[in-house]
Amino acid sequence: MSEKIAIVGSGLIGRSWAVLFARGGYRVVLYDVKEELMTQAMEVVQAQLHSLHESNLLLGRDPAECYTRVSTSTFLSSAVEGALLLQECVPEDVELKRKVFSELDTLVSDTTILSSSTSCIVPSKFTETLSHRSNCIVSHPVNPPHYCPAVEIIPAPWTTDLAKDKTISIMKQIGMKPVVAKKECDGFILNRLQYAVLQESWRLVEDGVCDPQDIDTVMTSGLGLRWSFIGPFQTIHLNAPEGVTDYAERYSDGIVRVSKQFGEPRHMTGETLEKVREYVEGEVPMDKHKENLQWRDGVLKQLAVFKQSIPDK
């Protein structure tokens, strides 16, 4: 029988994890404090498995067979019993994470990995006093995880290499692309990059250099196109005839000069917020939010399919 993964919290992210672990060949047990949410989650999991299969994104597995390996439990103790790894997906609140991890600590075996989906709380903030703290780690996915395979792995200072390596290996097995932080860092990696871009976008609009739509055009028709398959470092390497050292010699002084002007972070309030709100609500009206989310996920799905066909260099 295949090994078991427990998902604690069956909301948006918990459901996606269930799909991914089932795709990787694991048995999955979903737990939530609200029983009706688990029923909804099972419907979503079934639909997502079929949708991934239609797009050839189910790692060659049969969706119906994957679905038979997913179940729910109304008891936390039976959900986590014998689990290889449990993936916590409760709301982003440090007190709640502390409470849930303390409870899980009393239920898990000495070998179960306790993995949190938290977007921005470093693991030492909610695992320090636990007797199983050496098995605690963060595995932060990108939404929607079934089309965005990067996952940030953040060990606590006391996480063992064994727990870290096991987590990385499980993530690879289910088709994810783990990125491992060498130490805890506020904001992790993804959000620090995202915040840097957001802050500079805000400044450019607030200081009257351009309009909000121009930022989106620069990203979607410029920078973002390259970044979706080679990232900023390979981009600069290819942008200079003699590679990255050549690029650094040519452009580093200019980058430092401009970067020194970035200044203090800006609060996202006031007239600039109004300007940004007017623009995004014109493009993505609030009464069509659900349809636009489906549209976004549909495009991400097409990109995921396309990226599978990108030839190696």
Which span (2-10, 67-75, 105-113, 285-293) binds ligand NAI, by CB under 6 A?
2-10
- CA 295, 297, 299, 301 torsion-angle sign: negative
DSSP for residue 219: I
Member of 5, 27, 32, 126 binding ligand NAI (CB under 6 A): 32
Member of 5, 7, 13, 52 binding ligand NAI (CB under 6 A): 13
Shortest Cβ 96–ligand NAI spacing (Å) = 6
- Spatial distance between the Cα atoms of 12 and 8, rounded to a whole number of angstroms: 12
For residue 99, the Cα-to-chain-centroid distance in whole angstroms is: 23
Amino acid at 122: V
Rule CB under 6 A: is residue 243 a binding residue for ligand NAI? Answer: no
Rule CB under 6 A: is residue 92 a binding residue for ligand NAI? Answer: yes
Rule CB under 6 A: is residue 143 a binding residue for ligand NAI? Answer: yes
Token pair 């419907």: residue: 43
- CA 220, 277, 142, 153 torsion-angle sign: positive
Minimal CB distance to ligand NAI: which residue? 11
Rule CB under 6 A: is residue 175 a binding residue for ligand NAI? Answer: no
Rule CB under 6 A: is residue 34 a binding residue for ligand NAI? Answer: yes
Instruction: List b or e across 161-185, with b for residues whose CB sees 16 or more CB atoms inside 10 angstroms.
Output: eebbebbbebbeebebebbbeeebe
Shortest Cβ 103–ligand NAI spacing (Å) = 8
Q: In this complex, which beta carbon is closest to ligand NAI, that of residue 14 or of residue 155?
A: 14
Amino acid at 231: G
Give how many residues touch ligand NAI by CB under 6 A: 23
Shortest Cβ 144–ligand NAI spacing (Å) = 8
Q: In this complex, which beta carbon is closest to ligand NAI, that of residue 10 or of residue 201?
A: 10
Rule CB under 6 A: is residue 14 a binding residue for ligand NAI? Answer: yes
Packed helices 190-206 and 270-283: angle between N→C axes, nearest 10 degrees: 110
Q: Which helix (H) or strand (E) holds 180?
A: strand 177-180
Rule CB under 6 A: is residue 33 a binding residue for ligand NAI? Answer: yes
Shortest Cβ 10–ligand NAI spacing (Å) = 5
Rule CB under 6 A: is residue 4 a binding residue for ligand NAI? Answer: no
Give backbone dihedrals phi and psi of 267, rounded to 5 degrees, phi first: -75, 145
Contacts (CB under 6 A) with ligand NAI, residues 178-197: none
Member of 27, 132, 140, 146 binding ligand NAI (CB under 6 A): 140
- Spatial distance between the Cα atoms of 243 and 234, rounded to a whole number of angstroms: 9
- Spatial distance between the Cα atoms of 18 and 87, rounded to a whole number of angstroms: 9
Q: In this complex, which beta carbon is closest to ligand NAI, that of residue 31 or of residue 247?
A: 31
- Yes or no: say if 8 and 79 are a contact pair by the CB < 8 Å rule: yes
- Yes or no: say if 87 and 22 are a contact pair by the CB < 8 Å rule: no
Rule CB under 6 A: is residue 90 a binding residue for ligand NAI? Answer: yes
Point out which residues bind ligand NAI (CB under 6 A).
Answer: 8-14, 31-34, 37, 89-92, 100, 117-119, 140-141, 143
